[in-house]
A and B are shown apart, each in its own frame.
Chain A
Amino acid sequence: MNLTLRIWRQKGPEDKGRMVTYPVDDVSPDMSFLEMLDVLNERLILAGEDPVAFDHDCREGICGMCGLMINGDAHGPQRGTTACQLHMRQFKDGETIDIEPWRASAFPVVKDLVVNRNAFDKIIAAGGYITAPTGSAPEAHSTPVAKANADAPSSRRPASAAVPAWRPARTAPACSSPPPSSPSSRCCPRASRSVTPG
């Protein structure tokens, strides 16, 4: 496949940034989207140009580190799929693909496609935890949890899932209503292999 990429380049938070066009040839449909970017970067490095910075780590759809706007969609066109699990067979030969960082004031651009997502960590630090200091836990079987709650995909698990079954969780429906299908919900930092957007 031969593709034309239009990629957001921005040297740092203070730089204005702009879209830059790069042709990429000989893309295999079996490549992941990030492997396609690797090919581009290898070429840029050898040409003495600055490679495109993008975040990624596990490349198996679980760590939540990658995150690109691809043709205007968070993580691209395939629903429930992170950018690292998106494969080029989802695109057509000759296509032009726009690649941008997430754009939200909560996620300031660090460089190119890399954004700062520490806002989520701050929310968790402010109280997004269960207080269970090490060593203080009771025997695991002292708190049964309804199977329906335990089985619910993490993206649809009610906040009460960890509440013992003998408390209101038992009377609560197994799943809360599906999450809204706005693009922002697909940026959920709690990435999940079985991402199941609405």
Chain B
Amino acid sequence: MELFTEGDPIADTKAPAGPIDRRWETRRFEAKLVNPANRRKMTVIVVGTGLAGGSAAATLAEQGYHVKSYCYQDSPRRAHSIAAQGGINAAKNYRNDGDSVHRLFYDTVKGGDFRSRESNVHRLAEVSVNIIDQCVAQGVPFAREYGGLLDTRSFGGAQVQRTFYARGQTGQQLLLGAYQALERQIGLGSVEMNARHEMLELVLVDGKARGIVVRDLVTGEISTEMADAVVLASGGYGNVFYLSTNAKGCNVTATWRAHRKGAYFANPCYTQIHPTCIPVSGDHQSKLTLMSESLRNDGRVWVPKAKGDDRSPKDIPEDDRDYYLERIYPSFGNLVPRDIASRAAKNVCDEGRGVGPTKLGVYLDFADAIHRLGRKAIEAKYGNLFEMYERITGEDPYEVPMRIYPAVHYTMGGLWVDYDLQSSIPGLFVIGEANFSDHGANRLGASALMQGLADGYFVLPTTIANYLASGPLDKVDASHPAAVEARTDVEDRIRRLLAVNGDRTVDSFHRELGQIMWEHCGMERSEAGLRKAIDEIRALRDQFWQRVKVSGTGEELNQSLEKAGRVADFFELAELMCIDALHREESCGGHFRAEHQTPDGEAQRDDDRFAYVAAWEFTATGEPSVLHKEDLKFEYVHPTQRSYK
């Protein structure tokens, strides 16, 4: 059987015509408005309370809409945006170092290896400056210079210093800002907050998104919530690999359920492997911990020149060390983009020059920086990260170099959206990491926070009005046949999961799925490997539905049941990721096909055949998906072989 079929291309992304720096202005003016008196009669559901969802819910409520917000955590302030460390990009040009909106736009399109949409990225760069203003007004404690003005630092993929940061906790501080704006609206009665609730299905009425089915994770109660529009801000799907830097609860269920209901899933194979994570220590490992990219500002990455050099790093003299990033990429050095740094680490480990007990690790060494700046300066900049490293590994990075290795971190793919951030289902909007739109095949560091907040504070609140103003929509409630059917589907699925009562735990299946994905759909992919992975995933998925053991019942707090539902969806997504990776016969950004590389081992794009977004349409379980291509046009940034040498 064919793995997929090809359908009609996507002709219109709804981006306005005209010069790129006028398009967002044009769209804002042309978008229809909703009269303030009518806004309070309209309900918007927002799933997820991270930077995108939290900021969107707060802003929509400020505008006067009635908002229902959902998160699986016990409080909206737990969302995984909180874990972002390094910073947030903005084209403020406070450094006077040549930055501009156009340069941030250019760097982001290039960093994404020319696989993102110019119109969206330019808007992101324009809005970036407003985000910093907004967050400062909320009291976000960004780092400051001596005089009290904002400090910035460098990040990968850019030669200007445009990254604003709050120690190693930028995500936490930004999220607390969005969370407090959200709580303010909760206190005012404009947002109805539902923590410890998980979305398990999307409700479509007459082809439009009109509600969701949720499970109360404490009582197990299933309910159907209706609205005028639904916004998904449910994050990425990195946990398909089991081990990733995502929080344990991060999952694809909200977006996957929407995909099954007709929302196209775009570029699922674009995943970001972050180069600086703490290496795996054993089979018990449940999660991988990131060491911020900002460490590459002062840390130097190296491995021994010789294979199998087992000396302690202190005993390896300079002449026997290979600072391979500085050697291969002299102009960007240790600050090459993430995809490049990750693959370089993999290559030196494949050559047998990896370090640490598993030999899957490279050194990130601060000795030079400590010598140059003093231990105190390094402590001030990175103290909390060094402490975290020591807690996890038991080693003191002031004395011995850190050991790091790449780990799954972010997913650039996600639900397909148009310029308005609306999916292929009318009334279903997708923001933040859950959509695909701005990062192409590789996201630059400090751009995820920027995109989440751009979508939530500024873009969605403008574009969703255009949809809502096209109403009024028919009044529907949870007794509508489509809503009842969605709810019944959810209940049946839970019953099925509980009924298997087999002999393997959910985690054991998840771990095995993760190994297949890491092996064949991780840092390097090949046709043979992907075909093998597709077969293995299908076989394992069948096993899952025959042998999984979920304890307890559906009518209680049941973490084993929660995990089972999420892993079942990861199985379906995993197959689509491999099919997407297999069909994309080129290398670009985080997608590296072994068959497509330049003579010196860099990603070899094929712009003639693959300068498009792959948007996948679900047909039926076990049936081939339909590929819709959205051609990417580059009018302002001419695609070139990305070079950081």
Query: Which residues from chain A sit less than 8 Å from chain B, CB to CB?
Result: 11-12, 28, 30-32, 34-36, 38-39, 42, 44-46, 48-51, 53, 55-65, 78, 80-81, 85-87, 89, 110-111, 114, 116-118, 120-121, 124-141, 143-147, 149-151, 153-154, 157, 161-162, 165, 189-190, 192-194
Contacts and interface: CB of A to CB of B under 8 A. Distances in A.
B187 A144 contact: no
Contacts of A132: 134, 137-139, 181
Interface stretch (B335-343, B385-393, B528-536, B577-585): B385-393
B556 interface: yes
A63 B59 CA distance: 23
B9 interface: no
A186 to B, nearest CB: 15
Interface string B131-161: 0111011111111111111100000000000
A1 to B, nearest CB: 12
Contacts of A162: 138-141
Residue among A49, A89, A136, A141 with most chain B CB within 10 A: A141
B224 interface: no
Interface of B: 55, 58-59, 62, 73-78, 80, 82-83, 92, 94, 130, 132-134, 136-150, 166-169, 171-173, 176, 179-181, 183-184, 186-187, 193, 195, 218, 245, 247-249, 281-282, 284-287, 289-290, 380, 383-385, 387-388, 391-392, 394, 457-458, 461, 503, 505, 507-508, 549, 551-552, 556-557, 559-560
Given A32-B286, A86-B391, A121-B193, 10 more contacts: A39-B284, A44-B551, A56-B248, A58-B248, A60-B245, A61-B388, A137-B134, A140-B133, A189-B75, A193-B169
30 contacts: A34-B286, A51-B559, A58-B248, A59-B248, A63-B73, A63-B80, A86-B391, A89-B394, A117-B74, A120-B75, A121-B75, A124-B183, A132-B137, A132-B138, A132-B181, A134-B62, A136-B137, A139-B133, A140-B92, A140-B150, A141-B94, A141-B149, A141-B150, A143-B137, A145-B148, A147-B147, A154-B173, A162-B140, A162-B141, A193-B387
B180 A154 contact: no
A101 B600 CA distance: 56
A80 B549 CA distance: 37
Contact of B391 (A59, A81, A111, A117): A81
A162 B547 CA distance: 55
A147 B183 contact: no
Contacts of B76: 121
Nearest to A44: B551
Nearest to B461: A134
A196 B552 CA distance: 40
A147 B74 contact: no
Contacts of B195: 118, 121
Contact of B247 (A34, A63, A130): A63
Contacts of A35: 284-286
Given A59-B286, A193-B388, A144 B137 contact: no
B181 A57 contact: no
A195 B218 CA distance: 29
B394 A87 contact: yes
B183 A129 contact: yes
Interface of A is mostly: loop
A194 B385 CA distance: 8
B184 A129 contact: yes
Given A65-B73, A120-B75, A134-B181, A42 B173 contact: no
A149 B145 CA distance: 11
Contacts of A126: 187
Contacts of B77: 64, 121
Given A31-B284, A134-B461, A144 B388 contact: no
A138 B129 CA distance: 11
B180 A128 contact: yes
A181 B460 CA distance: 44
A149 B141 contact: yes
A116 B282 CA distance: 33
A124 B78 contact: no
A89 B559 CA distance: 27
A42 B142 contact: no
B149 A65 contact: no
A51 B62 contact: no
A54 to B, nearest CB: 8
A99 to B, nearest CB: 16
A42 B548 CA distance: 12
B282 A28 contact: yes
Contacts of B557: 53, 110-111, 114
Contacts of A120: 75
A127 B505 CA distance: 44
Contact of A194 (B183, B387, B560): B387
B184 A131 contact: yes
B136 A140 contact: yes
Per CB-CB distance, the 9 closest pairs between chain A and chain B, nearest first, are A144-B148, A162-B139, A129-B180, A194-B384, A125-B187, A137-B137, A132-B137, A150-B144, A137-B133
A89 B167 CA distance: 28
A38 B507 contact: yes
A42 B146 CA distance: 53
Nearest to B249: A57
A21 to B, nearest CB: 20
A137 B129 CA distance: 11
B551 A45 contact: yes
